[in-house]
């Protein structure tokens, strides 16, 4: 079973916010979608920047990088030639979100706000004030496993 996934919520300079933990129901959906998925951010996040993503041949990726460096990680990992599921803040005003929509095949508009787990208390945090979305990118993104995410929200094609 994959360990907790790092996710920050605000660019506040408080490093612990980059270590918010993904709630189990999101990981369970990912496990139904791709049982052998790989999370490049389980270990120290900077290591994910040293991987040659263009030649990556591993399993599908669950991507929930530290929020304070989200764009840097997205630009590095997005070239991986495998299906990718990105957790991101749903904010049409950012260039990053626009790029993700252009790169994506599908989007899952989550029906409720994600309450990440506070790493200090291991309890659901009172966050975030924004909505989160799952964006499916990468080559060979399969259609049929998307049903694993259907209970979480509305899925739409991006073409």
Interval 61-69 mean pLDDT: 86
Interval 103-115 mean pLDDT: 90
Interval 36-62 mean pLDDT: 83
If one compares 144 and 39, the residue with the highest pLDDT of the two is: 39
If one compares 144 and 74, the residue with the highest pLDDT of the two is: 74
Contacts of 20 (CB under 8 A, 6+ apart): 6, 7, 8, 9, 116, 117, 118, 119, 125, 127
pLDDT of residue 5: 42
**Residue 82 · residue 60 · CB < 8 Å:** yes
* pLDDT value at 123 more than 60: yes
Q: What is the distance between the alpha carbons of residues 7 and 114, in angstroms, rounded to a whole number?
A: 11
Contacts of 61 (CB under 8 A, 6+ apart): 37, 38, 39, 40, 77, 80, 82, 83, 84, 85, 138
* pLDDT value at 150 more than 80: yes
pLDDT of residue 43: 56
Interval 128-153 mean pLDDT: 82
The DSSP annotation for 102-119 comes to: HH-SEEEEESS---PBPT
């Amino acid at each position: 079973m994959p360990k907790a996934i790092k996710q920050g919520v605000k660019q506040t300079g408080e490093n612990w916010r980059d270590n918010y933990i993904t709630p189990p129901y999101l990981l369970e959906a990912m496990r139904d979608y791709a049982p052998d998925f790989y999370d490049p951010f389980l270990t120290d996040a900077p290591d994910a920047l040293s991987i040659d993503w263009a030649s990556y041949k591993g399993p599908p990726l669950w991507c929930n990088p530290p929020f304070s460096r989200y764009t840097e990680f997205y630009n590095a990992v997005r070239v991986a030639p495998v299906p990718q599921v990105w957790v991101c803040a749903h904010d049409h005003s950012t260039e990053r979100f626009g790029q993700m929509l252009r790169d994506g095949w599908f989007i899952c508009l989550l029906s409720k706000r994600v309450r990440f787990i506070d790493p200090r208390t291991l309890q659901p945090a009172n966050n975030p004030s924004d909505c989160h979305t799952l964006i499916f990118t990468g080559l060979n993104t399969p259609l049929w496993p998307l049903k694993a995410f259907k209970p979480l929200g509305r899925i739409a094609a991006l073409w």
